[in-house]
Amino acid sequence: MEFVVISLLNGLSFGTVLFLLTIGLSLTLGLMGIVNLTHGALFMVGGYIGWTVAVQLGLNYWLAVLLGGIVAGLLGLCIEQGFLRNLYRLMNEQVMVTVGFVYVLSNLSLWVWGGIARSPFSAPALSGSLPIFGFQYPIHRITTIGIGVILAIGLWWLQEKTRIGAIVRAGMDDKQTISGLGVNIGRITYLVFFFATLMVGIAGVIGAQMLGVNLAMGWDILLLALIVLVVGGVGSIQGSLAGAIVIGLIDAFGRALFPQLAMFLMFLVMIVILLVKPTGLLGKEV
């Protein structure tokens, strides 16, 4: 029983990080048709900013979360406004440019923060452990799950119950019609891009509680995000959440029960989804 509970908590906490990581990617691909492979590097930059604020400067952890998000969001906006806005519908060019930015951001991070990997960090109040079925379980993982639940509800409400959410959903279905109705779709798209990269920066600081921060994580975490995107589907909060939970749980139980097959299991799920439902569990056509 304790094994099941601990693995469930592991899966949900890791799944929450994947959810925060993938929302932005799902929205930019769904609304703007942009394949933003800089997403993983922005996760890394958010994490480094958070480390600087919370560890090096010793300031409040939640301030670190906010600043990590804002810096990643602004960087993302610069990339979109300066480069990607000229490359809509040019997928090969988008891939080349965003991959280039991965190298640029990785080497800038090396220059600023050095090559040593940074240890996982959290708010002092979240640094302890709670006894669960005789097993000590980190408090920060439980709060991460809570943050994920609150954000998922908040974002669902924003998407389903607000005018801006309706415009974004309409824009994903038919950009030209919504434009014809007088909505400034250009402004909406770059706001969505900023929001997407803000979320990935926040994910970087929250994820740093488990993963730490290091120069190589941009590529590693991007791969996981793409798997979640394929499994959950593009263009909706629900899709990102579903994909993240499925992958998080498969990772947790898979590594514990079949360690040698753990990475293979994620890809197996992705292959099955591509064969059975190519748009993902809850995705839209892109």
Partner 1 sequence: MENKKLITLVFGTSLILVLIVSLLLAGACAPAAPEAKGPIKIGALVPITGGLAHYGPHSIGGINVRLDEAGWKFKDRPIEVIFEDDASFDEVMALQKARKLVELDKVDVLFGPIASSSFLGTETYIDVVKIPTLAIGYRGELVEWDKPGWDFATRGSLAQQTYQAGKFAYERGFRTCNTFGADYETGYQGCGAFVDGFKSAGGTVVQMEWLGFGIADWGPYLAALPDADCTAVIHYGAEMISFVKQWHEFGLWNKQPLITLDTSTVSEPVLNDFGDWALGLLAATDYHWSLNNPINNKFVPAFEAKTGMKPDTTSDDAYTATSFFLAMLEKTGGNTTNEALREALFGLKIDAPAGTCTFDGEKGYTIKNTLVVEVQKIGGKLQYVVLKEYPNTTNPGYYTKP
- Placement of tokens 């890809």 in the chain: 267
Name the residue nearer to partner 1 (CB basis): 172 or 213: 213
Name the residue nearer to partner 1 (CB basis): 27 or 211: 211
**String marking each residue 156-185 x if it binds partner 1 according to CB under 8 A:** ------------------------------
Which of 129, 162, 177, 184 touches partner 1 (CB under 8 A)? 129
Task: Give the side-chain half-sphere CA count within 13 A for 170.
Answer: 17
Name the residue nearer to partner 1 (CB basis): 59 or 153: 59
CB of 210 to partner 1, least distance (A): 6
Q: Which stretch binds partner 1 (CB under 8 A): 78-86, 93-101, 156-164, 260-268?
A: 260-268
CB of 145 to partner 1, least distance (A): 12
Nearest to 12 by CA among 195, 137, 157, 117: 137
Nearest to 228 by CA among 250, 258, 209: 250
| Bridge partner list, 213 | 118
Nearest to 225 by CA among 29, 81, 80, 87: 29
CB of 220 to partner 1, least distance (A): 4
CB of 271 to partner 1, least distance (A): 19
Q: Check residue 69 for interaction with partner 1 (CB under 8 A).
A: no
Which of 224, 227, 237, 245 touches partner 1 (CB under 8 A)? 224
Which of 235, 254, 280, 283 touches partner 1 (CB under 8 A)? 254
Q: Check residue 39 for interaction with partner 1 (CB under 8 A).
A: no
**Residue 285 phi, psi (nearest 5):** -70, 140
Q: Which stretch binds partner 1 (CB under 8 A): 4-12, 89-97, 197-205, 265-273?
A: 4-12
Q: Which stretch binds partner 1 (CB under 8 A): 28-36, 90-98, 197-205, 246-254?
A: 246-254
Q: Which stretch binds partner 1 (CB under 8 A): 159-167, 188-196, 197-205, 220-228?
A: 220-228
Q: Check residue 215 for interaction with partner 1 (CB under 8 A).
A: yes
Which of 170, 210, 226, 265 touches partner 1 (CB under 8 A)? 210
Q: Check residue 223 for interaction with partner 1 (CB under 8 A).
A: yes
Q: Check residue 16 for interaction with partner 1 (CB under 8 A).
A: no
- Positions that interact with partner 1 (CB under 8 A): 3, 6-7, 10, 13-14, 55, 106-107, 110, 114-120, 129, 135-138, 140-141, 210-217, 220-221, 223-224, 251-257, 259-260, 262-263
